[in-house]
Amino acid sequence: MVQILDVMKKALEGAPMSEADWQRKLFAPTIRRLVKEHGIKFDPNNPIHSDDSLADDVFEAGFELLLETGVYCTDTSRIISYTEQEIKKALRNAPDKLRVGEGRDRKEFVPRKTEDKTPPWCLLGAAGAACSSDKSFLTLVEGYAEIPETNAITTPAITVAGGMRIRPASPLELYGTIRNAVLAREACNRVGRPGIPIMNSLATAESSISLAAALNPRFGMRSSDGYMIGCLDPMRVDFDRLNKVVLALSCGAPIGMDFAPLLGGYSSGPEGTAISDVAHHLMGVLTYQTSYSIPFPLHLQYISNSSREMLWVINAAGQAISKNTHLLSLSLNYTSAGPCTMMCLCETSASVISAIASGLSIESVGVASNKEEDRTTPVEPRVSAEIAHAVAGMKRTNANDLVKELLAKYESKLSSPPLGKTLYECWDPENRKPSKDYQDVIGAYKKEMAALGVELEPEMY
Amino acid sequence: MTNEQMIKTIRDAVLDYNLDAAVDAIKAAIEDKMPPTDIIENALAPSIREIGDKFGRMEVYLPELVLAADIMNACTAMLMPLLAKEGKESRAPVIVAAVQGDIHDIGKNIVASMLIASGFNVIDMGVDVKTSDLVEKTIESKAKIICASALMSSTIGSQKDIIDFLTALGERDKHVVLVGGGPTSKEWADKIGADGWGPDATSAVRLVEEHSGVRGG
């Protein structure tokens, strides 16, 4: 089985190639050929497909992509190649369940299958969204920890330390990351869920040195949390990311790799993006030694994954993975619209339904493309979790009809989405509730979902 | 072959992303004494613009855009000496980089490719470019415009550093600093004193055109 030192050996001794050549002359043309060879075709009328053979084709193409292109190491300018046997063995040996958290909140995260009634694992929160202050950080994480369906927390990222904007790999980033750890645990303690696992540990740690600093046990991180490492798209790695792998392995903690194949980028269209998504799942098990995967394919223009093509990508790659492997995978969704808008809630619902029907669990949610400070609230992940539980077990054909109804409500607005309101404009931290305006939006959303046949709890707060 | 036929051959080669065919067609046009400005304005520019528009509509993707930029680079290299003989000045280069600390390259690559495809002489400094190196290269290459990309909230501070460095060297007024990337905004650009902000690659190209005098506005 490929271990981290084997990965290093491959990174040091693999075939040399320039990064530009690897991306342009190897990765992009290989994807294009595999789309043709496997006859994979995006069907806009069926963003959630029901074709098991398509799931197999997408999986095989993803497998072949990894086999043919390998993974590019930007620090050695060499290709980390894997044999067919190495990939198959890694898939066989990958964890088929994960116990994370402590005490009452120690739970088992298990893989799901297409149309599976098994409740999805709900990793809820901000997915690393920028957060301007300790106050807003605590408000958000307390809100996430209070959601009944929360199995694990995905925290925001702190952007300011000591009154200064954080700089990468600087003392400011180290202090920001330490505060990320301390405040996240404090927020969970405050609402009576001290054992809940933090599974995007740690969003503020862009560099490995920051992660290392914050792993001092006095700051509260545990080996029962999940350590997240971001993959360089497409299918690249550097020493700093491998350093994080070594750090997490040395703590005995499970590693999650998040990756964002870009529709419109080197993967080209929806078909290539789905293939790339699958290949990233596989390369993560080997290169990043992952226990769980966090795919978040994104549309290059919308920087979200709620468009018709992106729902197909989430679903096609998800079905490929859940039908052909036992990998633990959490689909992370991004909306274009912001909090306190109907569009945002419809977008997150569509992406979550697409993931759940395909057999994935969820990480939710990156709001308003996850790029504005404090433009996220505890409501959006809560709605996502509620809809995820409500549609578990739904037939793919029904899920397909449902997302088409949702698409009709927002598809035309994706290029100029409403940004909605900021955290404290629509969330009351004292009463731990959304504002009256937001409650009205939630009520209207639930009525619309009921009209589409999905009954949700009438009172959320 | 008539001029119209030669122009069509070049355009077809570019739209087919065929570098060799485009180079051969340009060679033939040069041998046939077609003015280089005609080759650029009537053959290369319209076809490249068409590819850019297709990219904007997501009908083609980054690999095609990169191929188009490669073709434009190769063709421009052939035509530049002839333009110089005609007394046409080449445009000042545009510096494109992902700022210090930022290793995200796709947005920066798209902007660089679209600028090259639009006929700009681009110096792509890559990712995680040290601010002092970027400023040094800007001055040394006589570049007028800097496009600085940052994809993380922790790296946008490096965009401000570029402006601080230029100011400290007394060079601020000689250069246009354009910023972009996910966590940036018009407000951020205004706050740090940048000359422009673009939410996407298309607007970045438009800003460069405006500031280089190619387009009014």
pLDDT-based confidence at B217, cuts 50/70/90?
Answer: very low
Is B136 within 8 Å of B185 (Cβ atoms)?
no
Q: pLDDT value at position B40?
A: 87
* B196/B3: higher pLDDT: B196
Distance CA B138, CA B132 (A): 10
Mean of the per-residue pLDDT values of chain B: 90
Q: Which residue of B has its CA nearest to A25?
A: B63
Q: Which residue of A has its CA nearest to B57?
A: A301
pLDDT-based confidence at A294, cuts 50/70/90?
Answer: very high
Q: Furthest-apart CA pair in chain B: how many Å?
A: 57
Which of the 8 DSSP states describes residue A123? E
**Chain B residues inside the 8 Å CB shell of A264:** 55, 58, 61-62
In the predicted model, is pLDDT for residue B215 greater than 50?
A: no
* DSSP 3-state of A255: strand
**Chain A residues inside the 8 Å CB shell of B113:** none
Mean pLDDT on B198-212: 90
Is B170 within 8 Å of B200 (Cβ atoms)?
no
Backbone angles phi, psi at A100, to 5 degrees: -130, 165
- Radius of gyration of chain B from Cα atoms? 18
Q: Please indicate if any CB of chain A lies within 8 Å of the CB of B200.
A: yes
Mean pLDDT on A20-38: 96
Percent of chain A with pLDDT over 70: 100
In the predicted model, is pLDDT for residue A251 greater than 70?
A: yes
Q: pLDDT value at position B89?
A: 64
Separation in Å, CA of A95 to nearest CA in chain B? 30
Q: pLDDT value at position B85?
A: 76
Q: What is the pTM of this model?
A: 0.94
pLDDT-based confidence at B73, cuts 50/70/90?
Answer: confident
Count CB pairs under 8 A between chains A and B. Answer: 73
Please list the residues that pair with B95 across neighbouring strands: B123, B146
Q: Which residue of A has its CA nearest to B108?
A: A265
Token look-up 């694990």 returns: A152
Q: Which residue of A has its CA nearest to B70?
A: A24
Mean pLDDT on A326-351: 98
Q: pLDDT value at position B90?
A: 65
| pLDDT tens per residue across span A386-441 | 999 999 999 999 999 999 999 999 999 999 999 999 999 999 999 999 999 999 99
Q: Please indicate if any CB of chain B lies within 8 Å of the CB of A243.
A: no
Q: pLDDT value at position A262?
A: 95
From A324, A314, A386, A327, select the one nearest A357 (Cα to Cα).
A314
How many domains is chain A built from?
A: 1
The CATH number of the domain holding residue A380 is 3.20.20.460
Is B211 within 8 Å of B174 (Cβ atoms)?
no
Whether B183 sits inside 8 A of A130 (CB atoms) is yes
On whether residue A439 sits in a domain, the answer given is yes
In the predicted model, is pLDDT for residue A241 greater than 90?
A: yes
On whether residue A111 sits in a domain, the answer given is yes
Whether A371 sits inside 8 A of B152 (CB atoms) is no
In the predicted model, is pLDDT for residue A271 greater than 60?
A: yes
Is B40 within 8 Å of B119 (Cβ atoms)?
yes
| pLDDT tens per residue across span A83-120 | 999 999 999 999 999 999 999 999 999 999 999 999 99
In the predicted model, is pLDDT for residue B121 greater than 50?
A: yes
Is A369 within 8 Å of A414 (Cβ atoms)?
no
Mean of the per-residue pLDDT values of chain A: 97
Whether A265 sits inside 8 A of B182 (CB atoms) is no
Domain that holds residue A305: 98-451
Nearest to A266 among B62, B102, B152 (CB): B62
Mean pLDDT on B6-15: 94
On whether residue A185 sits in a domain, the answer given is yes
pLDDT-based confidence at B56, cuts 50/70/90?
Answer: confident
Q: Which of A31, A238, A266 to mutate to test the interface with B (most CBs of B within 10 A)?
A: A266
Q: pLDDT value at position A457?
A: 87
Q: Please indicate if any CB of chain B lies within 8 Å of the CB of A269.
A: yes
- Neighbouring residues of A192: CB distance < 8 A, sequence distance ≥ 6: none
Q: pLDDT value at position B81?
A: 84
- Neighbouring residues of A436: CB distance < 8 A, sequence distance ≥ 6: none
**Chain B residues inside the 8 Å CB shell of A267:** 61
Mean pLDDT on A272-296: 98
Is the reported ipTM for this assembly greater than 0.85? yes
Is B123 within 8 Å of B136 (Cβ atoms)?
no
- CA torsion through residues A447, A453, A459, A461, sign: negative
| pLDDT tens per residue across span B148-204 | 999 888 899 999 999 999 999 999 999 999 999 988 999 999 999 999 999 888 899
On whether residue A53 sits in a domain, the answer given is no
On whether residue A381 sits in a domain, the answer given is yes
On whether residue A296 sits in a domain, the answer given is yes
Distance CA A342, CA A444 (A): 8
Q: Which domains does chain B have, with CATH numbers?
A: 3-85 (1.10.1240.10), 94-211 (3.40.50.280)
On whether residue A367 sits in a domain, the answer given is yes
pLDDT-based confidence at B88, cuts 50/70/90?
Answer: low
Distance CA B57, CA A32 (A): 19
In the predicted model, is pLDDT for residue B214 greater than 80?
A: no
